Amino acid sequence: MGELKVERLLINYKTLEEFKRFKEYGNQELSMLEDLQSNIVENNSDSPFYGIYYGDTLIARMSLYKVDKKYDKFFDPPHDYLELWKLEVLPHYRGKGYGRKLVDFAKTYALPIKTNPRVNSHGFWEKLGFQKAKYEMERDFGQNPLLWLPNGVLERTNS
C-alpha cells in the first residue's frame, strides 16, 4: 500500500468532480454528491469527508460525522460517538486494504463508531471488530446498526 494516507477532503468543486467518478461505479445509496453539494461553502469549512489518494486520483472515501451524546441511543452511559455514514473504494482498488485504512483512521478518535452496513458489507465490518447493536430501539431508519466500541465503553441493553 505504500505511503498512502487518509486526508480530510476539502469541501469545494474539485472534490465534487472527484466524487462524480465514484458515482459512475458505485451504488446510488453510497453517493456523497448531494452531501457534498449541500456543504459547499468554502474550503476551510470543517469537512466530514475523508479520502485516500493514489497519485492525484481519489480512490477511497468516507463520510464521518460526530454525534453529540445528547442524541446517543446506543451507549450507557451516553457518549459522543462517530457515525461512519458512507465508505466506498473504487472497484479497481478494492481488496487492497484501503477501506480498512479509512476505518482504522476513524478508530484513532477513540470514540465509539456506529455504521449502517450497506451493499452486502456485513463481513467487512465484522472483520474490523464491529458488532450488531444489542439495544433494540426503534430501528435506525429500518437499518441494523453495527457498533465498534473502544475500551471502557459499554453498549446499552434492553433492560
Give the confidence band of 34 by pLDDT, cuts at 50, 70, 90: low
Residues in the chain: 159
Q: What is the model's pLDDT at position 75?
A: 81
Q: What is the model's pLDDT at position 70?
A: 93
pLDDT of residue 159 exceeding 60, the answer is no
Tell me how crowded residue 91 is: count the other CB atoms within 10 A of its CB. 11
Cis peptide before 145 (omega within 30 of 0): no
pLDDT of residue 24 exceeding 60, the answer is no
pLDDT in tens, 45-98: 578 889 999 998 999 999 999 999 998 888 878 889 999 988 999 999 999 999
DSSP string, 27-89: -GGG--HHHHHHH-S-TTS---EEEEEETTEEEEEEEEEEE-GGG--SBSS---EEEEEEEEE
Average pLDDT over residues 28-50: 57
Domains for the chain: give ranges and CATH numbers. 6-148 (3.40.630.30)
Considering only 12-16, 29-33, 68-72, 125-129, which range has the smallest mean pLDDT?
A: 29-33
Region of 112 (left: φ > 0; alpha: ψ -120 to 50; beta: rest) is beta
Q: What is the model's pLDDT at position 85?
A: 86
Instruction: Give the single-character DSSP code of 155.
Output: B
CA distance 90 to 26: 8
pLDDT in tens, 121-150: 889 999 999 998 876 554 445 567 899 999
